[in-house]
Amino acid sequence: MDRDIATPLRTRAILEKYGFTFKKSLGQNFLIDTNILNNIVDHAEITPESGVIEIGAGIGALTEQLAKRCKKVLAFEIDQRLLPILEDTLSPYPHVSVVHQDFLKADVHQAIETYLQEVKDIAIVANLPYYVTTPIIMKCLEDHLPFRSMVIMMQKEVGSRITAKPGTKDYGSLSIAIQYYTTAEIVMNVPKTVFIPQPNVDSAVVKLTKRDQPVVAVKDEQFFFNIVKFSFAQRRKTILNNLVSQLENGKEKKERIMAALEKAEIDPTRRGETLTIEEFAKLSDGLLPYFA
């Protein structure tokens, strides 16, 4: 008998046994296709020596496939109602630790210290609720968690924005924030039909591989990200107009902004979406003395 959690039959049996009902507010969609889960785990390139952080364990479908291949799994689950289910479904895997916490509020460094201390190689793997995808990825990057790569299932449209290149409609401050720290690629598309309940949109699995150093060196990281954000404030506006309207005292310092654009060899009539990360780095370093 197929004991994998991620089959329609077994998933329904587990939900019925515990009388579990889905909470829309938590964006719960459970995968019922073992092949897709195995594919996700393949992309994470984990070994019997690896530790994996999973965000949102659900009923343990992905957790189980990870546990079969790695040394330790540290799984975060926010929904208290799932804890007894996970205790049951993951009972064959003593090397899985489930932490009942909101990942966004958790001290993840402390959890790694507690549960993954003997592991050198850490990957993050998750099927994320759509509404928290971006904050979770940014927390992992900004908190400088010691992971090698992240393999994350998300809404297809968010995947397109994260991996977008300059000059495309999907390219924006999110693309730049994530590509600053990682190399980002869509490794597979997932149809909505393989979930219970079925979401309204298709999904994509994105692999983010952490860079040893950010892709560009900037004098002030926070200022760099602000300049990026300001440049996309109104997509139809030119880079010059966005910066003049968004930077403090931008109107009075228009000449300075013009000079910084010229020094960075950026035509002031271009739009933010056409600039590469390297151009944004040059521009933010050039503007820093006037606006820091």
Give the residue numbers of the binding site: 29, 31, 56, 77, 102, 127
The closest alpha carbon to 204, from 251, 247, 156, 168, belongs to 156
pLDDT tens for each residue of the chain, 292 residues long: 357 999 999 999 999 999 999 887 787 899 999 999 999 999 999 999 999 999 999 999 999 999 999 999 999 999 999 999 999 999 999 999 999 999 999 999 999 999 999 999 999 999 998 889 999 999 999 999 999 999 999 999 999 999 999 999 999 999 999 999 999 999 999 999 999 999 889 999 999 999 999 999 999 999 999 999 999 999 899 999 999 999 999 999 999 999 999 999 999 999 999 999 999 999 999 999 999 7
**Could you give the CA distance from residue 154 to residue 189 in angstroms, rounded to a whole number?**
10
Which residue in 77, 37, 81, 33 sits closest to 55, CA to CA?
77
Among residues 202, 271, 207, the alpha carbon closest in space to that of 242 is found at 271
What structural domains and CATH numbers belong to the chain?
A: 8-210 (3.40.50.150), 221-291 (1.10.8.100)
Distance CA 51, CA 174 (A): 28
Host H or E run for residue 266: none
Binding residues for S-adenosyl-L-methionine: 29, 31, 56, 77, 102, 127
Distance, CA of 252 to CA of 254 (rounded, Å): 6
Cis before 197? omega within 30: yes
